[in-house]
Amino acid sequence: MRKLGPVLILLALIVLSCFGLAQAAPASPAPPCAKADAAIREQAYVPINGIEQWITINGARCGNPVILFLHGGPGNPLSPFADTIYAGWEQHYTLVQWDQRGAGMTYSKNRPADDVPLSLQQMRDDGIAVATYLQQHLGQQKVILMGSSWGSILGVYMARARPDLFHVYIGTAQVVNAQANLGSMYRQVLALAQAANDIATVEKLAALGSPPWRDPRNFGILRRFDRKYEAQVTEAPPKAWWQPAALYATPQALSDAEAGDDYSYIQFMGWQGDGMFSRVDLPALGTSFGLPVYMIMGEEDLLSSPAIARSYFDSIQAPQKGFVLVKRAGHDPNQAVLDAQWRVLREQVTPLLH
């Protein structure tokens, strides 16, 4: 993909001041989508809240609705894989991938010291600035907001703070409450191991003890067992999904991506179990949403329990809402999850845009 001259000029001219939620994203001198039928394909660093953050924009037609994807992790950007995973979507939507602060190409450009923290509020403000940038840069009043896993936490924060920026919020593998989700995950994996007479796993889980934990490694250990048992009852995604595009496959890019993953993981879990995740309690933010809300959950998801997500969903007040349970799917995306996202977009969301 090529960088466009106007974007490079934009980066040199824009200075972004820091005023939290009131902060404006960099304004485009002229939207690149002056013609609705023109294609757009951009990749560039954009100044967002004091640092340059990596954004890619890909669409066959500028007049199409814009989707802003919020990747999971934090620290696992979708940008290296998006062209393969979402092949064909760009015919109907303009797809935006954003490497969040501390992740991927954004981490490469802005390597924070290990003791520089991330916060939910900072990430929320970054996301709002990105959405405002897209609004101005693409000449569209609103964008579709899609978040998965960690991105589903961030998505709720963004949607509740600035519903005026978004047509709709779609949460996949929706996390709701740190202690509820983590406790449910531990109990379910332990029960599965006991039922399978998997003595080695049972002993390792017993050694961890029930969460919450102070050791950040414990979540990673549990996650490995979680994936083991989810894999037995779900369909694996195509292997081609996880082959990074050439730009992201250089030794330096791979090294930076791994370092960003490590940094973001520690910020998420905290050295003493006191990271961003420990403070996640979405119902406490309020359950009234000023935009439509949809949730897509894998039926076999052990990390973000469908039952916990359903209880949260039922409490939500929104102009429209929908809940989709996907068979043979777990926490990580597969083709069934992608198909469910596509159906929600085409059958539920797109009619709301007209």
pLDDT on residue 28? 45
Does residue 62 contact residue 36 with C-beta atoms inside 8 Å? yes
Task: Spell out the alpha helix ranges (H) of 61-171.
Answer: 82-85, 104-109, 120-138, 150-161
Q: Are 268 and 150 in contact (CB under 8 A)?
A: yes
- Please give the pLDDT value at position 32: 76
Residue 62 near residue 42, CB atoms below 8 Å: no
Find the helix or strand (DSSP H, E) in which 9 lies. Answer: helix 5-13
Query: Exposure of 21 by Cβ count < 10 A (0-12 exposed, 13-18 middle, 19+ buried)?
Result: exposed
The list of the chain residues with pLDDT below 70 reads 1-31
- DSSP β-bridge partners for residue 324: 296
**DSSP H or E segment with residue 298:** strand 293-298
Give dist(CA 5, CA 10) in Å, integer. Answer: 9
> In whole angstroms, what is the distance from residue 343 CA to residue 100 CA?
27
Q: What is the pLDDT of residue 30?
A: 54
CA–CA gap between residue 178 and residue 315 (Å, rounded): 18
CB 101 within 8 A of CB 126: yes
The secondary structure of residue 22, as a DSSP letter, is G
First to last CA, the chain: 31
Q: What is the pLDDT of residues 331-352, one digit of tens each?
A: 999 999 999 999 999 999 999 9
Residues 233, 227, 221, CA angle at the centre, nearest 5°?
150
Q: How far apart are CA 322 and CA 317, in angstroms?
A: 11
pLDDT of residue 341: 98
Side chain identity, residue 306: P
Residue 195: partners with Cβ closer than 8 Å, 6 or more residues away:
none
Q: Tell me the sheet residues that pair with 177.
A: 281
Amino acid identity for residue 349 in this structure = V
